Structure 1
């Protein structure tokens, strides 16, 4: 069941790409690289890696997505790896156990629940593109420990306006 939580600002290191629904690997496959980059700099991860959806245009199959790793203290970016901060605020959140391919239904359920609750997302729409203030999928399962995606745990966190 979804719930509303209050979260503080959270620093992270990330990469960003414009992708399609079939090219998620362009950004998602860089999460391991981010962990290595942080380790080389002595930076400590502070939670689960995530995908952050900045812009979504489903009719044109174009998404602007970040892969990120939260850190205990801000880091300085280098090359296409940048330092960012997830904004503080109220978030609607829900957990999912199972294959990431099943997240479409979970997302749909969260959006419908938000509408039933009268919630307003931190999102604006322009020319068919949704621009999100902060929409996250946090991947709580380490694939090197649990290689079967059917056993993965994912949290959704969508910031409220």
Structure 2
């Protein structure tokens, strides 16, 4: 699949997340747990839809792992409980693409952004994120935005 990549300025967007430091091998088992905690918190506050899922990643060279924030974009304030905290998707200049189709293809979207940055002389920072479109049982209707902060822009 071809991924069109664009360079954009984005504003910070409020999120409710559970942060963690993990490894890529542990991540597939961890993210559903953290996402479940966030959604339990939102449901307790009367919110059961309208918040897009997000996964923010920051390289953590000191630990050899990756810092993650798993949660949702907040569309309205709500009380946060347990390990769920307020955060935000960063503001700044980003290289962005939209992936259409199954999540298994997200690696292609990330590689497309990195190739595009290299071809345009831009250096992505270690901060990147995915914003997930509405759930659909039809893989053709699934989309995910992949964004990388460009070094020197945040």
TM interval, shorter chain, is: 0.7 to 0.9
Are the aligned partners of 1:76 and 1:82 in contact in 2 as well (CA < 8 Å)? no
Instruction: Tell me the number of residue pairs that the alignment of Structure 1 and Structure 2 aligns.
Output: 145
Query: Residue by residue, what CA displacement relative to the aligned partner does 1:62-104 show, whole Å, maximum 9, x if unpaired?
Result: 3222112011345554321111022222211101122222222
Query: Residue by residue, what CA displacement relative to the aligned partner does 1:2-58 show, whole Å, maximum 9, x if unpaired?
Result: 01222212111001223333332312443244233123224686652111102266x
**Which residue of the other structure, out of 84, 92, 95, is the alignment partner of 1:92?**
95
Residue of structure 2 equivalent to 1:128: none
Distance 1:28-1:55 versus aligned 2 partners, 3 A rule: farther
1:10 aligns with 2:3: no
**Which residue of the other structure, out of 143, 147, 151, is the alignment partner of 1:153?**
143
State the TM-score, normalized to the length of structure 2.
0.77
**Which residue of the other structure, out of 77, 80, 85, is the alignment partner of 1:82?**
85
Query: Residue by residue, what CA displacement relative to the aligned partner does 1:118-142 show, whole Å, maximum 9, x if unpaired?
Result: 2232x2xxxxxxxx3x310112141
Are the aligned partners of 2:38 and 2:71 in contact in 1 as well (CA < 8 Å)? yes
Are the aligned partners of 1:6 and 1:89 in contact in 2 as well (CA < 8 Å)? yes
1:109 aligns with 2:112: yes
Are the aligned partners of 1:52 and 1:66 in contact in 2 as well (CA < 8 Å)? yes
For structure 1, the residue ranges without an aligned partner over 5 or more in a row are 124-131
Q: Distance in 2 between matches of 1:19 and 1:149?
A: 28
1:140 aligns with 2:133: yes
For structure 2, the residue ranges without an aligned partner over 5 or more in a row are none
RMSD over aligned Cα, in angstroms? Answer: 2.6
Are the aligned partners of 2:100 and 2:143 in contact in 1 as well (CA < 8 Å)? yes
